[in-house]
Structure 1
C-alpha cells in the first residue's frame, strides 16, 4: 500500500487562497501533495507547503478537524511538510497551516484549506510527535490543595479522574504575549473558559485563547485594534471541563460544549444537549484565533433550552469576523462541593454597568477562589469587556469597560452578570 496519501485539494472561499504572516513575514501557501481520488490511504495524510524564507519563522503549525474551518487538533514541525497519522477510517478531515516565530507571539493567518477522506481497512502509520511548547510553563510550587499563586503560567486544581466530573480551575497572570497553559490533569476534549480580568492597566482589552487541546491551550491579553497593543500583566482565571453533560449532587446540571460561528454583531442560537430545569448561568469565550482582530463573545436570552451567542469587534470596525470556535459552560445556579471542588455559581439582577458593582461570595472559601464572570444579557450593544478588582478573599468590584474606537463615551446600561467562585478544599 502506498505510503503517500491521496485526496482532493479543496480551497475555502474566504476571498484569499494565500495569507500573510504577521509583522511583514512572507506569504505561505499550503499545497497538499495529493492526487485526485478524494480518498487518503494508510490512515494518514502527507502535507507539504512552500517554506517561508524569513529568519523569524521557527515553526509551522498544521491544524485540522472534522468540519471546514473548525480545527480541534494541531501538529507542529520545523520542516515544510508533515504527515498526520492515526486518522479515523471513513472520516473526512480538513487541514490548514500557518507559520510562527519561536515564541509564537507572531503567527500568520491560516492558509487555504484542503480536505481528505480516510479509506476504511487501512493500517495506521507511526505518528509524528507534537512539538513541545516553547514558552515557559513553570509556576510556583502548589500546596496540598493543588493550586499555587497566580504568578507563572498556571496552577490548576487536580481533581480525581474517577470523580465523573473532570474539571480543572486555575489562576493566570497574562500580558500581550501568547502564553502556554499546561493542564495539570488529563483531558480528551476540553472546553475552556477564560473570561473577565483584573484592571491593573487601564487600556481596554479582551482575553484571546487558541489551540485548545488535551494538554493545554495558548492565551494572551489582546487590546482593541485602536490601541497600541502593549499591555501589562493582568490576573484572570480559567475553567477547563471535559466536553459533555454532568449531573452533580442535588440534581445540579452542568453542560460543556462548543460551536463554530461567524455571527458578528448578530447572534446564533445554541441549544443545550440536556434540557435544564431552569435557565442556567452561561459562560462563553472565543477559543480560536482564525482572525487577528480583537473580538469578544456576547450572550443574550438564556433559557432552559439554550442561549443566543455572537461576537463583537471594536465599534469602529465593520462587524464582520471569520468563523471562530466559541466554548461554553452552562451551570445551574448553585453552590456545593464535588470531587474536592467547592463552588458557588450565581447571577446578579440587572445591576452591572460601567459603575463598580460589589460582589461577594456567600460560600466560605479557605483561600482566594478563582473567579470567572460573564454577562448574561446584551441590553446595551456597545462593545465591551468585564474588568474587576479584588476587595477581599472572595469579593470583587466588577464593571463593564467599553472600548472607544468610535466615540469616547463609556456609559453602559445595566446588565445581568453570571459568575462562578471555585476552589479546591483544604
Structure 2
C-alpha cells in the first residue's frame, strides 16, 4: 500500500512552464491573475514514490487544481490526482487501480482561485471544492452530493473535477453528473476496484461557460459533446477537434467525465492522440474485476470502455513566450 506521504523525492521533475508570471502583459498586477495552466511529465505512479511538486507562478488565497493525463504511452489504467494544495503550490501524481507502476505520461493542470470570474474576452468560470465521503461503486446507481452554482450559467456548463487530497492512500477518482445551469452532483469514483477504505476527500471542480475565443491574447476553447457512440478503451476514441482555434503547439487541456450512463464507473484519460489540432479521449476503466474496458455513451468532460459519453472539455492556448503552454488567465476589470 503506498504511503500517503512518500519519503522519496521525485526522481524527475519536468516543468514545461519556466516563464515568469505575467510575461508579455505590461503593467499587469498578479492580483488580476485568477488562474494558470501548465504541463508536467510524470515518469511513474505514486506507488513507486514518483510525484511532482508544482510551484504556482503566483500566490493564491484558496486555489483548486485540475489535472488530466493527455498521453497514453502505457495502456494500463491510470488516473491523475492532486494533494497538498497550498496558496503557493501542490503535488501532482498518477495512481493506477492495481497500485503498481506505470509508464511516463504527460499531464496538463489548471489552477484557479475559488470564486466566480469573468475573464478578459468574456469567458466565465466558477471554481470551488467539496469535501465528501460519498463514493460510487461500479455496478451501483450513481448518487452524488448536490452542489449549486453561486448564480446560473446561461447554458449547461462544462464541469471539470479532480481529487485534491490523498487521505485514503489508495486509488480513487471523481465523477460529476446531473449537470444543469444551476448546479450538479459530485462524488468519489472507485469503479470496480476494492478500496482499503472510503474516507472524506476534497474534490476540486471548475464549471466553465462553453465557447471559444481569446482572453488577453490566449486562445481558448471550452465545450461539451456527446458523440452518441461508445468511447471506452476497447471502443473508439472521442476526438476533441480544435483545428479552427489555431494553436501552434498542443494546448494545456484538461477533461473529465460528467455523466455516467452506464454504472461500471469511469474517468477521462487521453487516448494517445494529442497535438495542436486534436485531443483523443477515452472513458477509462479499471481492470480489477474484469479486463474489458468497453463503455456506453456517457457525458465526458473532456477525461476506457464506457457508454457513449458527453465529453466536456477546456483547453487554453500557450500563454506567454513560446505560445506553447502556461497561460495566465486575467480577470476582467
TM-score, normalised relative to structure 2: 0.78
The answer as to whether partners of 2:191 and 2:286 remain within 8 angstroms in 1 is: yes
SS in structure 2 of the partner of residue 416 of structure 1: strand
**Structure 1 residue 184 corresponds to structure 2 residue 75:** no
Mapped to 2, the partners of 1:140 and 1:205 lie a distance apart of 21
- In the other structure, the counterpart of 1:206 is 79
**Structure 1 residue 421 corresponds to structure 2 residue 315:** yes
Question: 1:410: how far off?
Answer: 1.6
Cα gap change, 1:295 to 1:161, in 2 (>3 Å): farther
Cα gap change, 1:170 to 1:249, in 2 (>3 Å): closer
Question: 1:416: how far off?
Answer: 0.3
**Structure 1 residue 317 corresponds to structure 2 residue 317:** no
**Structure 1 residue 245 corresponds to structure 2 residue 116:** yes
Mapped to 1, the partners of 2:29 and 2:90 lie a distance apart of 20
The answer as to whether partners of 2:170 and 2:196 remain within 8 angstroms in 1 is: no
Cα gap change, 1:286 to 1:102, in 2 (>3 Å): same
The answer as to whether partners of 2:257 and 2:283 remain within 8 angstroms in 1 is: no
Question: 1:360: how far off?
Answer: 1.3
**Structure 1 residue 368 corresponds to structure 2 residue 250:** yes
The answer as to whether partners of 1:264 and 1:320 remain within 8 angstroms in 2 is: no
- In the other structure, the counterpart of 2:331 is none
Structure 1: segments with no counterpart, 5+ residues: 1-20, 24-97, 106-134, 148-155
Alignment deviations for residues 207-266 of structure 1 (CA, whole Å, 9 cap, x no partner): 121011111101111110xx3511121011000011111123565421011110111013
- In the other structure, the counterpart of 2:231 is 353
Mapped to 2, the partners of 1:322 and 1:102 lie a distance apart of 25
Question: 1:384: how far off?
Answer: 2.5
Mapped to 2, the partners of 1:309 and 1:281 lie a distance apart of 13
Mapped to 2, the partners of 1:353 and 1:311 lie a distance apart of 21
SS in structure 2 of the partner of residue 313 of structure 1: strand
Cα gap change, 1:381 to 1:252, in 2 (>3 Å): same
**Structure 1 residue 287 corresponds to structure 2 residue 164:** yes
Mapped to 1, the partners of 2:6 and 2:195 lie a distance apart of 27
- In the other structure, the counterpart of 1:396 is 279
Mapped to 2, the partners of 1:165 and 1:280 lie a distance apart of 22
Cα gap change, 1:209 to 1:383, in 2 (>3 Å): same
Cα gap change, 1:402 to 1:279, in 2 (>3 Å): same
- In the other structure, the counterpart of 2:288 is 405
Match 2:7 to one of 101, 114, 138: 101
Alignment deviations for residues 301-324 of structure 1 (CA, whole Å, 9 cap, x no partner): 111111111111141426961110
Alignment deviations for residues 76-102 of structure 1 (CA, whole Å, 9 cap, x no partner): xxxxxxxxxxxxxxxxxxxxxx86524
Mapped to 1, the partners of 2:78 and 2:12 lie a distance apart of 23
When Rg is computed on C-alpha atoms for both structures, the one with the higher figure is 1
Alignment deviations for residues 3-60 of structure 1 (CA, whole Å, 9 cap, x no partner): xxxxxxxxxxxxxxxxxx957xxxxxxxxxxxxxxxxxxxxxxxxxxxxxxxxxxxxx
**Structure 1 residue 337 corresponds to structure 2 residue 214:** yes
Mapped to 2, the partners of 1:140 and 1:207 lie a distance apart of 17
Identify the structure with bigger relative contact order (alpha carbons < 8 Å, sequence gap 6+).
2
- In the other structure, the counterpart of 2:134 is 263
The answer as to whether partners of 1:313 and 1:319 remain within 8 angstroms in 2 is: no
- Counterparts of residues 38-57 of structure 1 (less than 5 Å): none
Structure 2: segments with no counterpart, 5+ residues: 137-142, 297-307, 324-333
Cα gap change, 1:274 to 1:228, in 2 (>3 Å): closer
The answer as to whether partners of 1:375 and 1:418 remain within 8 angstroms in 2 is: yes
SS in structure 2 of the partner of residue 390 of structure 1: strand
- In the other structure, the counterpart of 1:129 is none
Cα gap change, 1:140 to 1:247, in 2 (>3 Å): closer
- In the other structure, the counterpart of 1:170 is 38
Count residues in correspondence: 289
